[in-house]
């Protein structure tokens, strides 16, 4: 098995005795390769070399669709309806600013959306994640899809970790962590979503929106949002324009979020002064959940508005921001999290 793995590396890297150009895999080839990876094919050194080669080449939309499609078929997902929004996040978190998507998801849920967060705890020294914050404020991340379904149907908000359900993922994530770079496993974890879901994912800055959009379309998501938020998160910026891509009924449209259009005029992103970054992140989210005016509330309101718009609960972002602010300022978003904490 390990010997056959050399062929994949040579194909992707363009390596070999005679040299050559890197090749993109077809959807079926990518699916075959990722199935082999999840079945622990190749030595750890070979897997690391493959990840680096894919990072240097850049994964095509067909490769992302093939990888994610294979990984999805091995998983049992929580049950979602066609209006549920899945917020799929990275385990490589934010270093400079706190993740604010917990307050955003709570506000969107309190305003009527069903929100399934897919998250995990972060990698050491790679920043705080939404999963870290969920565990600190709400409780354990669900590993059982049935329990996540229960929380989602009863409360309208749940958080689970899809990769925890497939033992094949643990080696891939550990190798990626040892490499110390964002590689294809991190990208694919954000595409592990139920087929019917409306998918909200983050993307790093750069010319990646088209590739990500094509991959989501190939995976069957007619409605979705890709956001190049603060530090590659789903948090929109409140100091400058945020770029993104909207998938709506099979079409793709550029998205530009200008905070001034919604009455937000700030010189710095959401933050909270505390020497412990966990406490700082908790403080920033609690500021938003308590309805205190400032960058934290603005970030949470914009993030919630994206969820509400994607769920089809608001005709435009301005209306959605108003609904999100009401959920935050009234305390209903905070109450939603406390409901979950009470049943955890």
Predicted confidence (pLDDT) per residue in 99-111, tens digit: 999 999 999 999 9
> 134 with 62, same domain?
no
> 56 with 188, same domain?
no
pLDDT tens, residue by residue, 273-300: 788 888 999 999 999 999 999 999 999 9
Q: Is the pLDDT of residue 17 over 70?
A: no
**Inter-residue contact 288 to 328 (CB < 8 Å):** yes
Pick 127 or 281 by higher pLDDT: 281
Q: 140 pLDDT band (50/70/90 cuts)?
A: very high
Q: Does an H or E element contain 30, and which? A: helix 27-38
Residue 80 resides in a domain: no
Segment among 26-30, 129-133, 192-196, 224-228 with least mean pLDDT: 192-196
Pairing of strands 251-257, 242-248: antiparallel
> 264 with 339, same domain?
yes
Helix and strand numbers, DSSP H then E, in the chain: 14, 7
Q: Is the pLDDT of residue 3 over 60?
A: no
Q: 343 pLDDT band (50/70/90 cuts)?
A: low
Domain boundary among 19, 38, 73: 73
Residues in the chain: 344
DSSP 143: -
> 108 with 141, same domain?
yes
pLDDT the model gives residue 1:
42
> 120 with 44, same domain?
no
Pick 182 or 298 by higher pLDDT: 298
Segment among 194-198, 242-246, 253-257 with least mean pLDDT: 194-198
> 68 with 153, same domain?
no
> 199 with 269, same domain?
yes
> 236 with 91, same domain?
yes
**Sign of the alpha-carbon torsion through 241, 305, 105, 252:** negative
Q: 88 pLDDT band (50/70/90 cuts)?
A: very high
pLDDT tens, residue by residue, 37-83: 999 999 999 999 999 999 999 999 999 999 999 999 999 999 999 89
- The boundaries of the domain holding residue 63 are 2-73
> 62 with 116, same domain?
no
Our CA angle for 177, 33, 40, nearest 5°, is 55
The number of distinct structural domains making up the chain is: 2
Residue 23 belongs to domain with CATH number? 1.20.970.10
Rounded Cα gap, residues 218 and 189, in angstroms = 16
CA dihedral (69, 70, 75, 80) in degrees, to 10, reads: 10
Q: Does an H or E element contain 150, and which? A: helix 145-155
Q: Is the pLDDT of residue 342 over 80?
A: no
The mean pLDDT value of the chain amounts to 92
Q: Is the pLDDT of residue 182 over 90?
A: no
> 69 with 113, same domain?
no
> 61 with 123, same domain?
no
pLDDT the model gives residue 340:
87
Q: Is the pLDDT of residue 87 over 60?
A: yes
Q: 19 pLDDT band (50/70/90 cuts)?
A: low
CA dihedral (21, 8, 33, 124) in degrees, to 10, reads: -90
Distance, C-alpha 211 to centroid of its chain: 16
- φ and ψ at 169, to 5 degrees? -75, -25
């Amino acid at each position: 098995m390990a010997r056959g793995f050399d062929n994949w590396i040579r194909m992707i890297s363009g390596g070999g005795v005679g040299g050559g150009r890197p090749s993109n895999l077809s959807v079926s080839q990518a699916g075959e390769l990722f199935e082999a990876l999840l079945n622990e094919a190749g030595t750890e050194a070979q897997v690391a070399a493959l990840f680096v080669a894919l990072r240097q080449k850049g994964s095509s939309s067909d490769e992302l669709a093939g990888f994610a499609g294979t990984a999805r078929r091995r998983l049992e997902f929580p049950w979602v309806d066609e209006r549920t929004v899945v917020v799929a996040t990275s385990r490589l978190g934010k270093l400079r600013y706190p993740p604010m998507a917990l307050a955003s998801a709570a506000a969107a849920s309190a305003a009527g959306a069903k929100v399934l967060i897919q998250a995990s705890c972060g990698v050491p020294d790679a920043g705080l994640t939404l999963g870290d914050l969920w565990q600190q404020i709400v409780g354990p991340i669900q590993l059982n899809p049935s329990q996540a379904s229960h929380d989602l149907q009863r409360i309208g908000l749940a958080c689970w970790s899809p990769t925890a359900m497939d033992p094949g993922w643990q080696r891939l994530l550990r190798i990626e962590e040892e490499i110390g770079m964002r590689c294809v496993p991190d990208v694919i974890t954000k595409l592990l979503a139920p087929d019917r879901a409306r998918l909200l994912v983050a993307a790093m800055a750069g010319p990646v929106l088209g590739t990500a959009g094509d991959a989501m379309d190939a995976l069957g998501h007619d409605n979705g949002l890709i956001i190049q938020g603060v530090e590659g998160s789903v948090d929109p910026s409140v100091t400058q324009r945020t770029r993104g891509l909207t998938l709506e009924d099979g079409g793709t449209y550029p998205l530009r979020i200008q905070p001034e259009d919604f009455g937000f005029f700030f010189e710095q992103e959401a933050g909270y002064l505390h020497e412990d970054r966990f406490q700082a992140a908790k403080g920033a989210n609690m500021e938003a959940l308590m309805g205190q005016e400032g960058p934290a509330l603005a970030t949470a309101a914009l993030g919630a508005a994206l969820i509400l718009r994607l769920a089809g609960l608001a005709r435009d972002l301005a209306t959605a921001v108003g609904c999100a602010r009401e959920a935050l300022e009234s305390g209903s978003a905070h109450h939603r999290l406390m409901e979950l904490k009470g049943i955890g």
